[in-house]
Amino acid sequence: MPLENISCNKSAGGWHKQYTHRSEVLNCDMRFTIYLPPQCAAGQKVPVIYWLSGLTCTDENFMQKAGAQRMAAELGVAIVAPDTSPRGEGVADDPQGAYDFGLGAGFYVNATEAPWNRHYHMYDYIVNELPTLIEAHFPVTDQRAITGHSMGGHGALMIALRNPERYSSASAFSPISNPMNSAWGQKALTGYLGSNTKNWKQYDSSELMRIAEVKLPMLVDQGTHDNFYNDGQLRTETLVAAAEANSYPLEVRMQDGYDHSYYFMASFIDDHLRFHVENFNK
């Protein structure tokens, strides 16, 4: 599968690169960003941390705002940040142009409802197509961890819970932890999957954690001044209850005064990278 390099910047001794490629799963051209630490230039293969972004974001937001490159270079890990939805001519969008559905809001599911099922298969893209592409073209190992923010935090936890054999660990900032019972999640799951709520459970981290048999180390940071948390969109407490019911190894840290912004992520991203590297080493 050919890649086109569209930007390249040196950062923290390594290289921050942006690529486009044709996605067979999504039936459109896609873009991702990869940070390759300096160890790669020395001929070393490194593990990969996948970052999934939230509503309205692209592959660029986290990579430009969170300041993760310095610690990734120190630890010797690559970071891959995909886009948050399919895009391009012919890709369906919300008819009213809403920010929380359609373009920029793929919710990391495989859509079954028309017209979304023509392109919106972000689950398959993140789990299978993108890692296959990364491992074929870059000096990385098959060790993977996954993390994300908000909608991307939902995607990271849910994907890890469904595919524990593919990841060493998972983490999230302010994840949508129980989308079946949040307004964002209900809108997205109804639109992409239809009204049968039984089909939603496979994409709900709280539901999955409650029944998980294979368990991965997981870390969640949640800000106490996050307006979406306080409005009931994120439902962190439901995830905590599911973990307690199933003795799941989840650590949730309530971070006093922090909100939903990239200032929050920039403050604690080093902890998350270290967490994943510790579990790579195990």
Catalytic site positions:
150, 226, 260
Rounded to whole angstroms, the Cα distance separating 263 from 225 reads 12
Q: How many residues does the chain have?
A: 282
Q: Is 56 left (phi over 0), alpha (psi -120 to 50) or beta?
A: left
Strand ranges (E), the chain? 3-11, 14-23, 28-36, 46-52, 78-82, 140-148, 170-173, 218-223, 250-255
Q: What share of the chain is helix, strand, coil (3-state, %, to 5)?
A: 40, 25, 35
Q: Are strands 46-52 and 140-148 parallel, antiparallel or unpaired?
A: parallel
Distances (CA, A) of 261 to 103, 223, 226: 20, 10, 8
